[in-house]
Structure 1
Amino acid sequence: MTPVFRHALGSDFDRLHPNVAWRYGIDSTSGVAQICSGIYESVYISSALPPPALWHYAKRNALPSKTSRMVPFTQGYYCYSDELGRESLAVLRNFQYTTGPRKLNSLLVAGRTGLVDYFGDGPEFLYPIEPSVTRSGELLLESGPMRWLGRGPKVGMRGLFTAQMKYIEGWDEKRDRFRCDATVRNPVIGEIMHFRGWFTAVDQACSLRDIPDEAWPVNLVDREN
């Protein structure tokens, strides 16, 4: 199988910094998972979000639970082919707040028309992703407007409700570690959330049986836009 980012980037994948290319070179036939650990120097959740919504989506592992600084974290990257035959990369993040651990899970899928990122255990949200490579070899992910996948009335995620994500990851040559910066913005509220910091990563042997249950969403969603 082709790794999800090589599938999406094509020949541009080879312009990634070699360490970033190594990070995202695994696929469902590799027999490895990628295990990362580091520090989020800043985690932010806007106070403009209604507390019930924040509680709801944090509980479903679709949002960090609170603003903080210098938060230790781990994240695991697990590859598999889903029931629809799509190459998939599950990202399981664990924020080690002093009040206890909280999770933020997402699933990147090489879809029929491009890269798709599903957030939360439901999943709760969908982001169509446009990946690119910066001049310095960083991986840049920019999303189209967020799509809501939850139950209940379908609120159009446009205009005042638009939420778009930007994620950038690169290699810090001076400190021999990765840096990452994720931001979600709304045209009215401004920044809804961010988490940014540094981490190191290692490969770990991982068969299909070793992949954690939470790497699979509760519901298989074939919607990609």
Structure 2
Amino acid sequence: MTSVPGGATAPASIFRTVMGADFDRLHPQLQRRFSVGLASGEACTGRGVMDRIWHGRAFVKPFLALGSIRNILVPRAGRNVPFVIENVPYTDTFGRETVTFVRTFDLPGRSRRFDAQMVLSLKGDRVLDYLGTHQHLASDLHFRAEADGSLLIRSGEHRFREGVVDVRVPELIGATAEVRESYDDAAGRFRIRVRVENRYFGPLFGYEGSFTATYADVRRCGVRAGLRPVREEVRA
């Protein structure tokens, strides 16, 4: 259990479970946002603007375009891009509590999505981040509260699954993601900065901006069509 704004108490989410006592060091608004889950019965929708979506060197673009076919990463750069993130909890095909992290970027000419579904590991020591419409890519995520109450999320090992194939993605072609999310009391907005880079080739992709959040009773609103992945992966 953890306190949230207004003095209420929310049941443990998958994020509260994996962070333990460190969760209480987050800004109260971040505690509210990351208390989304089946126990709380809440879904969260963030709406705002990405001040900048950026790419690394030119050779990165074909890989981003390929990933975008399955809603992984965003193949176009831009500024002042309207943005929506949908965090909705549900029980997946394998009986696991899952929280969507579906991001939609309203780029000129065509909206682009970056889909992820988060699941608690069997040991409860990490969050598994399944990427894309078919969950072919999976990543370990590690959460940490910073001294200023912001949240730092770092990715760990990446794995690729397709049929009988189940391999670790080598560092040469893999990437590390770092997400920093905070709450700006003066502006009344969440601020987010995402950076994805390769150990050998440097920065690949990222975005930064801000948004406001609204909450809804997921038992009433449900999971809208198209939010869940086409295929779900059970391998952790």
Q: Which moved more, 1:96-105 or 1:80-89?
A: 80-89
Task: Check if 1:40 corresponds to 2:50.
Answer: yes
Structure 1 residues 163 and 208, CA gap change in structure 2 (3 angstroms): farther
Which residue does 2:60 correspond to in 1? 49
CA shift, 1:34, in A, is 0.6
CA shift, 1:155, in A, is 6.8
Percent identity between matched residues is: 27
Task: Check if 1:79 corresponds to 2:86.
Answer: no
In structure 1, what residue type is equivalent to 2:74? P
Aligned residues: 223
Aligned equivalents of 2:25 and 2:175: distance in 1? Answer: 29
Aligned residues of 1:88 and 1:107 also touching (Cα < 8 A) = yes
Task: Check if 1:101 corresponds to 2:98.
Answer: no
**Residue segments in structure 1 that go unaligned for 5+ positions in a row:** none
Q: SS of 1:49's equivalent?
A: helix
Aligned equivalents of 1:153 and 1:186: distance in 2? Answer: 23
Which residue does 1:121 correspond to in 2? 133
Deviations 1:134-154 (A, max 9, x none): 001111111113222356977
Q: Once superposed, what is the RMSD of the aligned Cα atoms?
A: 2.1
Deviation >6 Å, runs of 4+: 151-155
Aligned equivalents of 1:86 and 1:21: distance in 2? Answer: 22
Q: TM-score, normalised by structure 1?
A: 0.90
Aligned equivalents of 1:198 and 1:68: distance in 2? Answer: 15
Task: Check if 1:4 corresponds to 2:14.
Answer: yes
Structure 1 residues 150 and 44, CA gap change in structure 2 (3 angstroms): farther
Structure 1 residues 41 and 156, CA gap change in structure 2 (3 angstroms): same
Task: Check if 1:223 corresponds to 2:231.
Answer: no
Which residue does 1:142 correspond to in 2? 154
Aligned residues of 2:133 and 2:230 also touching (Cα < 8 A) = yes
Query: Could you tell me which of 164, 178, 194 is aligned with 2:176?
Result: 164
Deviations 1:156-211 (A, max 9, x none): 52231231111110111221111001111101221111011100001123227720
